[in-house]
Copies of this chain bind each other. A is one copy, B any other.
């Protein structure tokens, strides 16, 4: 998104931005914290998640290089309602609130893009909520695998490798289920020839069948 800014605006950002390296597991911002800027992922990956009072984690989404994170709370003038954690070694730029807001207000096209992005994100969340509320864990896992393939799929031969290393627990926390259930279902999918995996490297073998399961 930043590519569409005027040269002059890019210079402002470049001047003030601060790029930091995060190791796997490092927290970028924390639920309850006050937003003072936004983050743009340059390299690596980040999970945005919420903790319940029982200590269970729900992963809301996964961010990739090029994505903004932390803008919702900043623009909405709230505290962060989720935590951002690096899921691999990452390089992330920090843009101070003042710079970001100033550019947003001076550049109507950018403002437009932002509101559109938030609206799209809201649509996605509404869809996800419906899926979680109404579908079985099996269907949700199939849906999640397809989503991961869409976002992280590397085109290979006949099969498609999902190029992100999530633990079984993290997959469970996206789907909204128990770790053991994910493990059992992944095995089932493997036996049925829908996917293949060795450890954290998961490949989609039969996308069509997986889609049928997801819609079910």
Q: Chain A residues in contact with chain B, CB under 8 A? A: 50, 52-54, 56, 58, 60, 72-73, 75-78, 81-82, 105, 108, 111, 114-116, 118-123, 125-130, 132-135, 176, 215-216
A-B contact pairs, 18 of them (CB 8 A): A50-B126, A52-B130, A54-B134, A54-B216, A56-B134, A60-B126, A72-B119, A75-B115, A75-B119, A76-B122, A81-B127, A82-B126, A105-B108, A111-B115, A118-B122, A121-B122, A132-B133, A134-B176
Residue of B nearest to A128 (CB): B129
Known: A81-B127, A125-B125, A129-B129. 5 other contacts (CB 8 A): A52-B134, A52-B135, A76-B119, A111-B111, A125-B129
Contacts of A123 in B (CB 8 A): 72-73, 76, 78, 81
In the complex, A56 Cα to B75 Cα: how many Å?
Answer: 34
Contacts of A135 in B (CB 8 A): 52
Tell me whether chain A's interface is mostly helix, strand or loop, or mixed: helix
Contacts of A81 in B (CB 8 A): 123, 126-127
Contacts of A111 in B (CB 8 A): 111, 115
In the complex, A129 Cα to B175 Cα: how many Å?
Answer: 11
Residue of B nearest to A214 (CB): B53
In the complex, A76 Cα to B111 Cα: how many Å?
Answer: 13
In the complex, A54 Cα to B215 Cα: how many Å?
Answer: 9
Which 5 interchain pairs have the tightest Cβ spacing? A76-B119, A133-B176, A125-B125, A58-B130, A129-B129
In the complex, A122 Cα to B129 Cα: how many Å?
Answer: 12
In the complex, A78 Cα to B215 Cα: how many Å?
Answer: 21
